[in-house]
C-alpha cells in the first residue's frame, strides 16, 4: 500500500502573513477585506473532490470571527489545530505571552469546533533554537504534537540541523511529537519542497520528484502545507518589498491545477493519522 502523506492548511488571510507585518499592523486587520472564509471553503471543496482529509492550523483571531467555518471544517472530517492567535512570531514573545496566546487560542478553537485540539504550528515556523522553550509550554498546555521546526536555512525561520522526519522530542515538561515540514535531501542540503510557495515558485516536476523520492527511497510520509490565500489570484495587492511580493503573488493561478496533479498521484490525510 502506498504511503499516506499529510496535507495541512495554515488558515490565515492574505494580509496576516509575516512578510506584510510592517505594512498591515494588527490593529488594521479589521479594515481589510476578509477573504479567508471563502478561500478556506474553496480548499475544502477541492479536498472533498478528491476524498482527502487534512489538518487546518487555524488562527484564533480567524476562529473568533468565523466560528461557523471552524465547525464546518470539523464536520467535514478534517482536523482542527492551532496556529496561534494573531500570527505573532514566537521568538518575539516571552514565555508568559506565548502561554497566554496558546491557551486563549486553544479554548477558542475547542469552543468553535466542539472537540479537543492536539496539534500546533507556529506562525512562520518561529520555533527556532532560541525559542525551543515554546515546546515546554505546548506540552504543559495539553498539545501532543507540533509541526513548527523547519529543517532548512531561511531568512525568517529554520533549524537546518533538526531531524527531517517525525520524532519525539523530550523536554523538561515531558514529550511531544514533532512533524517537520518536509525537505528533499540533495547534495547534503535540505531543500524545502513542502509548502505552497515552493509549489507555486518551482516546477511541478520538482515537487513530484521530491515526494516520490521521500515516499519510495526514504519510505517516509511528506508533511505538506498551503495557505487559503494561495488559491486566490484575485486577492488585493499589498505594497511591500520586491522579495515579499515575489514570494506572495507569483503563480497564484497555478496552485489549484498543481494540487490536482498531486492529489491524483499521491495519497494524503491529516497529520493526526500519522500518530497511529
Query: What is the number of structural domains in the chain?
Result: 1
Predicted pLDDT of residue 22:
85
274: cell is: 500519522
Predicted pLDDT of residue 58:
98
Predicted pLDDT of residue 110:
98
The DSSP secondary structure of 83-140, one letter per residue, reads --SS---GGGS-HHHHHHHHHHHHHHHHHHHSS---EE--GGG---GGGTHHHHHHHH
SS3 9: strand
Neighbours of 260 (CB within 10 A): 13
Residue range 20-54, pLDDT digits in tens? 888 899 999 999 999 999 999 999 999 999 999 99
Q: Are 73 and 56 in contact (CB under 8 A)?
A: yes
SS3 195: strand
At 13, give phi and psi (nearest 5°): -90, 170
Predicted pLDDT of residue 35:
98
Residue range 190-206, pLDDT digits in tens? 999 989 999 999 999 99
Predicted pLDDT of residue 218:
96
Predicted pLDDT of residue 69:
98
Question: Strands, E, within the chain: which ranges?
Answer: 4-11, 55-58, 79-82, 119-120, 145-146, 167-171, 174-178, 183-186, 189-192, 223-226, 267-269
Q: Which domain range does residue 20 map to?
A: 4-275
* CATH number of the domain bearing residue 195: 3.20.20.370
Residue 241 CA to residue 202 CA, distance in Å, equals 20
Residues of the chain with pLDDT under 50: none
Amino acid at each position: 500500500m502506498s504511503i499516506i502523506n499529510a496535507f495541512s492548511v495554515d488558515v490565515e488571510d492574505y494580509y496576516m502573513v509575516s512578510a506584510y507585518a510592517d505594512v498591515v499592523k494588527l490593529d488594521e486587520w479589521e479594515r481589510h477585506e476578509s477573504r479567508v472564509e471563502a478561500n478556506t471553503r474553496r480548499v475544502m471543496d477541492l479536498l472533498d473532490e478528491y476524498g482527502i482529509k487534512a489538518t487546518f492550523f487555524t488562527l484564533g483571531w480567524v476562529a473568533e470571527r468565523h466560528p461557523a467555518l471552524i465547525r464546518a471544517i470539523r464536520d467535514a472530517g478534517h482536523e482542527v489545530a492551532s496556529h496561534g492567535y494573531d500570527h505573532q512570531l514566537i521568538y518575539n514573545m516571552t514565555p508568559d505571552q506565548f502561554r497566554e496566546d496558546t491557551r486563549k487560542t486553544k479554548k477558542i478553537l475547542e469552543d468553535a469546533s466542539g472537540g479537543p485540539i492536539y496539534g500546533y504550528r507556529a506562525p512562520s515556523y518561529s520555533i527556532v533554537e532560541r525559542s525551543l522553550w515554546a515546546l515546554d509550554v505546548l506540552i504543559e498546555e495539553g498539545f501532543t504534537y507540533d509541526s513548527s521546526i523547519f529543517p532548512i536555512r531561511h531568512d525568517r525561520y529554520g533549524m537546518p540541523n533538526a531531524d527531517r522526519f517525525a520524532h519525539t522530542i523530550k523536554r523538561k515538561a515531558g514529550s511531544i511529537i514533532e512533524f517537520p515540514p518536509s525537505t528533499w535531501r540533495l547534495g547534503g542540503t535540505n531543500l524545502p519542497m513542502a509548502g505552497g510557495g515552493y509549489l507555486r515558485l518551482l516546477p511541478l516536476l520538482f515537487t513530484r520528484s521530491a515526494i516520490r523520492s521521500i515516499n519510495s527511497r526514504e519510505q517516509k510520509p511528506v508533511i505538506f502545507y498551503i495557505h487559503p490565500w494561495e488559491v486566490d489570484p484575485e486577492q488585493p495587492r499589498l505594497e511591500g518589498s520586491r522579495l515579499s511580493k515575489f514570494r506572495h503573488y507569483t503563480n497564484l493561478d497555478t496552485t489549484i491545477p498543481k494540487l490536482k496533479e498531486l492529489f491524483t498521484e499521491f495519497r494524503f490525510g491529516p497529520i493526526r493519522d500519522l500518530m497511529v
